[in-house]
Amino acid sequence: MSKYIYSKPYKAVQKLIKHKWKTLLVGKGATSILTFDGSTFLSEVSLTVTGLKPNETMQLRYFIASYEKGTKTKAAGYYSKQEFVGTTGGTYVVASQIGKRSQGTKGRSERLRIQVWTNSKTAKITSVTTRTLKG
């Protein structure tokens, strides 16, 4: 049986650091997890970006984080990057990913997260909305 997960827009400003990947917070309680452990999924993220100028870019990728309480979270895999170019007004980004994660091994949990990268000094994420179909 499939499960549909929708998040209300998370409107906390998230500053981006030029030339560094940043894991996005996607909901209340500063959570960054879209879905976890051993299922196929179709996930979509919608972002509102301010300060991204027309000659600047932002890249977005979904990635699998391997987590175990009390240890450092490790990257277990990445999906392909998607690139977006800034505009003269606000920039609105929608990115989708379909995939499957494993159940996790040796007490570790696999969690789907989103990261962004930019070549801008002024870009900020002002809103994040996610939709995930887990099945």
User: Any idea where the domains of the chain sit in the sequence?
Assistant: 3-134
pTM for the full model?
A: 0.85
Position of tokens 């409107």? Answer: 11
Output the DSSP codes for 11-53: ---EE--TT--EEPP-BTTTB--SEESS-EEEEEEEEEEES--
pLDDT of residue 129: 92
Each residue's pLDDT expressed in tens, for the chain with a length of 135 residues: 577 777 788 898 999 999 999 999 888 776 787 776 677 888 999 999 999 999 999 999 999 888 888 888 888 889 999 999 998 878 899 999 998 877 777 778 888 889 999 999 999 999 999 988 887
CATH topology of domain 3-134: Jelly Rolls (2.60.120)
pLDDT of residue 8: 84
pLDDT of residue 79: 92
Q: What angle do CA 105, 25, 83 make, to 5 degrees?
A: 90
pLDDT of residue 60: 96
pLDDT of residue 123: 95
Is-contact 60 45, C-beta < 8 A? Answer: yes
For 111, what's the count of Cα atoms within 13 Å in the CB-facing half-sphere? 17
pLDDT of residue 125: 95
